[in-house]
Amino acid sequence: MMMNAAHTIISRELVKPSSPTPSHLRTYNLSELDQRSTHAYMPLILYYPNNELCSLTPDEKVMVMKKSLSQTLTRYYPFAGSLHTPTSPYIDCNDEGVLFVEAKNDCQMKMLQQIMFFHSPFRPNLLGVQVNHFACGGMAVAVSMSHRISDGGTLGLFFTLWASVARYGSTDHKEVLTLNPHFIQSPATTNFLPPESALLNPTRRNTITRKFVFPNSNLSDLKNKVLKLAEGDSTLSINNPTKVDILTSLLYKTAVVATTSNSPSFKPYFLTIPANIRNKLVPKLPPTTVGNYVATMLLTTRHESETSLSLLVSKIKEQKMELERIRSMQLARQHNDSVLSKLENENLENDNRTFVCTSICGWPASKLNFGWGNPEVASVTYRCSNHIGSFLMDAPNGDGIHAWVTLEKPDMERFQNDKELLSFCQN
């Protein structure tokens, strides 16, 4: 057992698929977009309060989760495999299993950094789970998946199917969601080596993550402000912006101000936004397609005058239109390589001027019911990836958006006290 203050690791084991992977599926060739992705881990944590209506003991809940995870892995068979090196173009679907960690916390349910356990630069396993029991009877379920095989959409669908199987007891139950994964593989001879990039593999930073809550009423006020700022300016392309677009603009603007306020001169700053392109490719890909089917939008801010909210929203709209031209995997790869090349030319290796904004809004994280009710809170952490940026997800109660923002500590102090940000934030 390993102990850290009130946090105790009870057990570690590998959960294998409930049935072996057929021999003809033992090698899973990663798509060209997957091969260009970093082997960083994407973390998602769901917090479940003690449900007195559920008769299961904590041990019984864990047994349900392990059994349903094993059943779910028969469909998502590559997730139970391993990579031989960080740049391997394929996954060995050897049914090695998924690391499943159980822990207890001698405190009331709260968000703990110890919940996330993936910190090493390279792990051969692609997926890990940690279940944490709290003194109050609540529990937290943390899943961490390699970006080498999954984007946020894939992680969400896997989590959704797993919870559905746990709730109903079998993948064959009539009530289990029909979320069969769709796999696409590159030819076995293809090897798209990921570029050597500090942007994909950022250096260790003294970062801190904070949650900011934006209710729907405040987001409506923010939208009205953006539209009013754009009045009379025919150069701006703003037509009914989404909540995610306007909030992304506000967070990015605030980060730019916080990061550059103590600099003697304004340096160029960059916003990157990964966007799902499954429905843009020809032919369109099913939503359940496994992998990194994203293209990156890039906004460049070279002068302080370019931080206007209306201008930023307009630029996001323009970038979305650019993505409409992507109709193939090859074009997506070329687009992403072009974005990376532009950033590399800016000599950002040891700087914090790239803000990554990811959104899983629209994915019902608050409805992932394993059989003992919906989660009360959902959270993420960027401590595994060291990227400066934000992660947006719908509020569990449906009222607005939760933004998890990661910045270097001195910048966060200025960010969280920004008057404009606080005028729209519930915190």
**Which of 120, 145, 168 is at the close of a domain?**
168
According to the model, what pLDDT value does residue 227 have? 92
According to the model, what pLDDT value does residue 13 have? 94
Residue 181 is assigned to a structural domain of this protein: no
Indicate whether 371 and 324 sit together in one domain. Answer: yes
According to the model, what pLDDT value does residue 105 have? 83
Indicate whether 18 and 155 sit together in one domain. Answer: yes
Task: Write out the residue range of the structural domain in which residue 338 sits.
Answer: 207-424
Can you tell me the mean pLDDT for 78-96? 90
Q: Which of 37, 67, 66 is nearest to 145 (CA)?
A: 37
Indicate whether 88 and 155 sit together in one domain. Answer: yes
Indicate whether 128 and 234 sit together in one domain. Answer: no
Can you tell me the mean pLDDT for 26-33? 90
Query: What DSSP line would sit under 234-281, residue for residue?
Result: TT---SS--HHHHHHHHHHHHHHHHHHTTSSSPPPEEEEEEEE-TTTS
Strand 41-48 to strand 377-379: parallel, antiparallel, or no bridges (unpaired)? antiparallel
Mean pLDDT across the chain: 86
The answer to whether residue 49 scores a pLDDT higher than 70 is yes
Indicate whether 345 and 399 sit together in one domain. Answer: yes
Residue 175 is assigned to a structural domain of this protein: no
Cβ neighbourhood burial of 386 (10 Å; 0-12, 13-18, 19+): middle
List pLDDT tens digits, range 56-71: 999 999 999 999 999 9
Indicate whether 247 and 133 sit together in one domain. Answer: no
Residue 352 is assigned to a structural domain of this protein: yes
Indicate whether 302 and 387 sit together in one domain. Answer: yes
pTM over 0.95: no
- CATH number of the domain that 335 lies in? 3.30.559.10
Percent of the chain, pLDDT > 70?
88
Q: Cβ distance 182 to 285 under 8 Å?
A: yes
According to the model, what pLDDT value does residue 384 have? 43
Q: Report residue 385's pLDDT band, with 50, 70 and 90 as the boundaries.
A: very low
List pLDDT tens digits, range 110-124: 655 555 554 444 567
What is the C-alpha separation between 366 and 364, in angstroms, rounded? 5
- Report the length, in residues, of the chain: 427
Q: Report residue 225's pLDDT band, with 50, 70 and 90 as the boundaries.
A: very high
**Which of 148, 168, 188 is at the close of a domain?**
168
Residue 400 is assigned to a structural domain of this protein: yes
Least confident piece of the model among 236-240, 271-275, 336-340, 401-405: 236-240
**Which of 168, 196, 221 is at the close of a domain?**
168
List pLDDT tens digits, range 344-367: 888 765 567 899 999 989 887 888
Indicate whether 164 and 221 sit together in one domain. Answer: no
Residue 73 is assigned to a structural domain of this protein: yes
According to the model, what pLDDT value does residue 168 have? 92
The answer to whether residue 251 scores a pLDDT higher than 60 is yes
Residue 16 is assigned to a structural domain of this protein: yes
Reading the block at residue 41, the tokens are 């881990």
What is the C-alpha separation between 146 and 28, in angstroms, rounded? 15
Q: Letter for the amino acid at 271?
A: L
Indicate whether 275 and 345 sit together in one domain. Answer: yes
Indicate whether 415 and 308 sit together in one domain. Answer: yes
Q: Report residue 188's pLDDT band, with 50, 70 and 90 as the boundaries.
A: low
Indicate whether 235 and 328 sit together in one domain. Answer: yes
Strand 7-15 to strand 2-4: parallel, antiparallel, or no bridges (unpaired)? antiparallel
Residue 10 is assigned to a structural domain of this protein: yes
Q: How many domains does the chain have?
A: 2
Query: What DSSP line would sit under 178-202, residue for residue?
Result: ----B-----TT---PPP--TTTSP
Residue 124 is assigned to a structural domain of this protein: yes
Indicate whether 162 and 245 sit together in one domain. Answer: no
